Amino acid sequence: MIARYYQELLSHFTRAVRDRDSAADIVQEAYARVLAQGEDKPIAQPRALLYHTARNLVIDRHRRSVARGEADLMADAGEEMERLAGPAAFEPDTALASAQAVDALVQAIEDLPPRCREAFVLHRFDGLPHAEVAERMGISRKMVEQHIKLAMIACRRCKERLDDPGRGAAGAVTQAQEKMSTRMER
């Protein structure tokens, strides 16, 4: 973990605090805290946790310098704090939500009927055109289209549940799935 993110963090926080030595201290302290925390349990998103910890250390350092009446290291604290946020994808909450969304979509794909899942994976992940998927699976091109349509509906429904957990599945989606399941059983 140390070699993997150290330079990235150092570069980011050097730009943020405009002092390489201070940035190195901040990154080192962030690593120490994250590694100490990781002894108890494995860390799912170490990069996000490192950014978040280092950002909090910069904020703490700034508050201490203001409280002591020392010269402010940052010209405009509000602007600098905004810059310190780092990429939103590295924030722990965002990373966790993203991982959960991926898990939910993978589960939705795994829950598809086997032939439907196979057609969808060949088309969307392997990039094969409908005609080639049909040839490989020994089915008609129209059936491939139906399988992919069903899979897309399942993925869209999963995304809707993630975006708005209170909303139920649409009746049209359920009907389309039942119709497709009936065709696949034949």
Whether 46 and 84 share a structural domain = yes
Q: Is the domain of 41 the same as that of 84?
A: yes
Question: Which residue reads 């330079």 in tokens?
Answer: 7
Rounded-to-integer distance, Cα 121 and Cα 117, Å: 6
Confidence of residue 96 (pLDDT cuts 50, 70, 90): confident
Q: What is the mean pLDDT of the chain?
A: 78
Residues 69 and 133 in one domain: no
Residue 87's pLDDT is: 62
pLDDT band at 129 (very low <50, low <70, confident <90, very high): very high
| One domain, residues 114 and 71 | no
Domain count within the chain: 2
End-to-end CA, the chain: 52
Residues 102 and 35 in one domain: no
Q: Which of 51, 72, 90 is the last residue of a domain?
A: 90
Which of 73, 90, 107 is at the close of a domain?
A: 90
Distance in angstroms (rounded) separating the CA atoms of residues 124 and 150 = 13
Clarify whether residues 107 and 179 are in a common domain: yes
Residue 19 has pLDDT above 90, yes or no: no
Domain match, 75 and 101 both: no
Is there a single domain that holds both residue 102 and residue 179? Answer: yes
108 and 63 in a single domain? The answer is no
The whole domain housing 70 covers 2-90
pLDDT band at 112 (very low <50, low <70, confident <90, very high): very high
Same structural domain, 100 and 181: yes
The whole model's pTM is what?
0.44
